[in-house]
A and B are shown apart, each in its own frame.
Chain A
Amino acid sequence: MSAMPGVTKSGVRDVAVVAGYELGESLRSRRVLILALLFVGGAVAGTLAFVELLESLEASLAEALAVADPGKPGAVTAALMQSPEFLRMLGRLVRDEALARELAGLPPLALFYGWLGLTFMPVLVMLTAAETISAELGSGSARFSLLRTDRLSFSLGKLAGQTLLLAMGIASGALAVWVTGYATLGSFEASRSALWLGLLSVRIGVYSFAHVGLAVGLSHLTRSVPLSRALALGSLLLLGALWGIGRYNDVVREHAPGFADTLLAIVPRSHMLELWQPTLVDRLPALVVLLALGVVYFALGYNYRARRDA
């Protein structure tokens, strides 16, 4: 009785067990499947739209210059991106010459993928991870797990599961973009594009992790699934508003610069541009801060729930 052979227990092992089950169940759930299809479908559709735009721009350019239509799109744009005029324009836009050179040096498709991921991944994360904890608290099914592991391991397992899900979503999105680009773009640099899609995927992953932490953290605050979804989406709007205030509100910037800087520090979006920096040393502060923000958002939500009944 109760001397069950082969019993091994540790917090790290519990986190891994919860994460593995969370990932498996999320992949099997219809809602996440639909959202994944939306992301991959969105990546493909976005890439096709991007390619079509390039095609149309290059055809117009060829017509204006009275040269032959270049056929498959991409080659002219790639050459255009290396022109001094384009570099100057980009430099003015991002206010950083080194960054402008880095961006101009990217394969166009990778540049587009980076923009797509950084813009839409947070929204998808909020939709998929918002009810991670709240649904289990609401139905009471968390009790079956919490009888077998401590609350921190359970919550960390959920966070890890959602992070793995995010990684799979980003990887499948990158693959979809690469395949679409390979099939439709002329002068497609297959290996260089693959490398850049991979590198940018890591940055998108870190940026999105801040949002996973936020969504899972918020999910601790309520037992209601609709409320946790509303909190998640509402928090995106709130963070957007805080970013706008911190960055563009002259009154706040003039009279309370410290407050404005603090607002910018706690909003993931403020650190987005730094993710494009050419060297790891320049990118590292943003990567570290984004990871820390994810952990802090999660910890705040966990701390609220840890002191309450399951």
Chain B
Amino acid sequence: MTDAALVLSGVRKAYGKRVALAGLDLTAPRGAITGLVGPNGAGKTTCFGIVGGLLAPDAGHVDVLGRGRFDPATQAGRLGLLPQDAELPGHARVDGMLRYFARLQGLTRAAAEREVARVLDLMALRDRAHSRVRELSHGMRRRVAVAQALLGDPELVLLDEPTSGLDPHLVVSVRDVLRAQRDRGISLVVSSHVLSDLEAICDHVVFIEAGRAIKSGALAAVTGRGRIVRFALARPLVLATLQARLPDLVLHGNGSQLVVEAPPGSEIGALNQRVLRELLALDAGVLEMRLGHSLEEAYLDERGRSNLEPST
């Protein structure tokens, strides 16, 4: 068994003249939540469609759970998918529809009943089990769509914008559900425009731009949480003064913002202690301290850098 739940290499897909994926390379580790970050049209939805076997790639290699391309005839139930651009049938009743999906995954009637009850409980939808889909609010439909992706405890779950249109308290609840799935060993790949959502749950991120991955890695590495400490100061600081006191560290800053880069192999707690001691000694007035960049900053930095580089 490989360590990756999902591997895409050099995957290309075009719709006529429009190129959706231009050689996408992507790896999603097992038992982790991987976030796909990118603008509209970056290729995230196409990527999910290809992984789910709904779209055929023009070129490249796809490996789902170490078994090559996903084949629903033999692997149904191992992969759950919430497609962004698919509507649940409006006239269907929620429980009947979920039961049908579960049965189609190969579950017996009794197992399907249990699974439907479980996912409805998970998404706090038990009281809407007998409702027709068209009677539900947008947020409820989204939760039903997430519920169908979790049917049968799949090993890999792909969720395209799972929190789109949800109320804030439900966003938190869905995030908790996804974390709980990850803690049970399920691998998840999640795309969202709300980067704070991804930052709150992801262990691994992939930035996608124009159908290619421009950066990927563990969230801590991509955002620099393991090597960068950022300070907001009450009073502007002369950087040279601090640099003289901490000659082994790389410091950046502009006035009341200070960024400290730790040397490779250093322990971030000890480094923080040293910097704080010096800042207090210099009476800089520390207002806030944060590890690394936010995911949004990291993404925008990388995007800016990628746009500056000549394309190959």
What residues make up the interface of A, taking CB atoms closer than 8 Å to B? 1-2, 4-9, 11, 13-14, 17-18, 21, 24-25, 28-29, 136, 139-141, 143-150, 153, 309-310
Set of chain B residues within 8 Å of A310, measured between Cβ atoms: 49, 54-55
Set of chain A residues within 8 Å of B73, measured between Cβ atoms: 9, 11, 149-150, 153
B68 within 8 A of A: no
Alpha-carbon distance A139/B54, docked complex (angstroms): 14
Smallest CB gap from A24: residue in B = B96
Q: Do A146 and B53 touch (CB < 8 A)?
A: yes
Known: A21-B96, A148-B76, A310-B55. 7 other contacts (CB 8 A): A4-B111, A6-B111, A17-B104, A144-B88, A147-B79, A147-B80, A149-B73
Could you pull out 14 A-B pairs where Cβ atoms are within 8 angstroms? A1-B185, A4-B107, A9-B76, A9-B105, A21-B96, A141-B86, A144-B148, A146-B53, A147-B79, A149-B76, A149-B104, A309-B49, A310-B49, A310-B54
B263 within 8 A of A: no
Q: Do A148 and B154 touch (CB < 8 A)?
A: no
Determine how close the nearest CB of chain A comes to the CB of B281; give it in whole angstroms: 53
Q: Do A8 and B108 touch (CB < 8 A)?
A: yes
Contact with A along B206-250 (1 / 0, CB 8 A): 000000000000000000000000000000000000000000000
Alpha-carbon distance A140/B141, docked complex (angstroms): 14
CB-CB contacts below 8 Å: B69-92 with A: 71-73, 76-81, 83, 85-89, 91-92
Question: By CB atoms of chain A within 10 A, which of B77, B79, B89, B92 has the most?
Answer: B89
Q: Do B101 and A309 touch (CB < 8 A)?
A: no
Q: Do A309 and B54 touch (CB < 8 A)?
A: yes
CB-CB contacts below 8 Å: B100-144 with A: 100-101, 103-108, 110-111, 115
Set of chain A residues within 8 Å of B71, measured between Cβ atoms: 150
Contact with A along B147-162 (1 / 0, CB 8 A): 0100011110000000
* From B49, B77, B88, B100, contact of A4 by CB (8 A): B77
Determine how close the nearest CB of chain B comes to the CB of A14; give it in whole angstroms: 6
Query: Inter-chain contact count A-B, CB under 8 Å?
Result: 108
B52 within 8 A of A: yes
Q: Do A145 and B184 touch (CB < 8 A)?
A: no
Q: Do A2 and B78 touch (CB < 8 A)?
A: yes
Q: Do A145 and B104 touch (CB < 8 A)?
A: yes
* From B85, B91, B100, B148, contact of A29 by CB (8 A): B91
Q: A1-B153, A309-B55 are in contact. Are A141 and B186 (CB under 8 A)?
A: no
Q: Do A144 and B153 touch (CB < 8 A)?
A: no
Determine how close the nearest CB of chain B comes to the CB of A16; give it in whole angstroms: 9
B177 within 8 A of A: no
Set of chain B residues within 8 Å of A140, measured between Cβ atoms: 83, 85-87
Smallest CB gap from B15: residue in A = A309
Set of chain A residues within 8 Å of B185, measured between Cβ atoms: 1
Q: A141-B88, A144-B148, A147-B81 are in contact. Are A2 and B108 (CB under 8 A)?
A: no
Q: A4-B153, A140-B86, A141-B86 are in contact. Are A149 and B72 (CB under 8 A)?
A: yes
B194 within 8 A of A: no
B300 within 8 A of A: no
Determine how close the nearest CB of chain A comes to the CB of B300; give it in whole angstroms: 31
Determine how close the nearest CB of chain B comes to the CB of A92; give it in whole angstroms: 52
Set of chain A residues within 8 Å of B81, measured between Cβ atoms: 143, 147
Q: A2-B77, A4-B153, A139-B89 are in contact. Are A145 and B107 (CB under 8 A)?
A: no
B56 within 8 A of A: yes
Q: Do A148 and B72 touch (CB < 8 A)?
A: yes
Q: A139-B86, A140-B86, A144-B88 are in contact. Are A6 and B77 (CB under 8 A)?
A: no
Determine how close the nearest CB of chain A comes to the CB of B62; give it in whole angstroms: 15
Smallest CB gap from B31: residue in A = A1
Question: By CB atoms of chain A within 10 A, which of B71, B85, B105, B155 has the most?
Answer: B105
Top-4 shortest CB links A-B? A140-B86, A9-B106, A6-B108, A148-B104
Q: Do A25 and B89 touch (CB < 8 A)?
A: yes
Set of chain B residues within 8 Å of A2, measured between Cβ atoms: 77-78, 152-155
Q: Do B106 and A8 touch (CB < 8 A)?
A: yes
Alpha-carbon distance A297/B22, docked complex (angstroms): 38
Alpha-carbon distance A2/B184, docked complex (angstroms): 11
Smallest CB gap from A26: residue in B = B91
Q: Do B91 and A25 touch (CB < 8 A)?
A: yes
Determine how close the nearest CB of chain A comes to the CB of B80; give it in whole angstroms: 8
Determine how close the nearest CB of chain B comes to the CB of A140; give it in whole angstroms: 3
CB-CB contacts below 8 Å: B35-71 with A: 49, 52-56, 71
Q: Do A141 and B89 touch (CB < 8 A)?
A: yes
* From B55, B77, B87, B148, contact of A7 by CB (8 A): B77
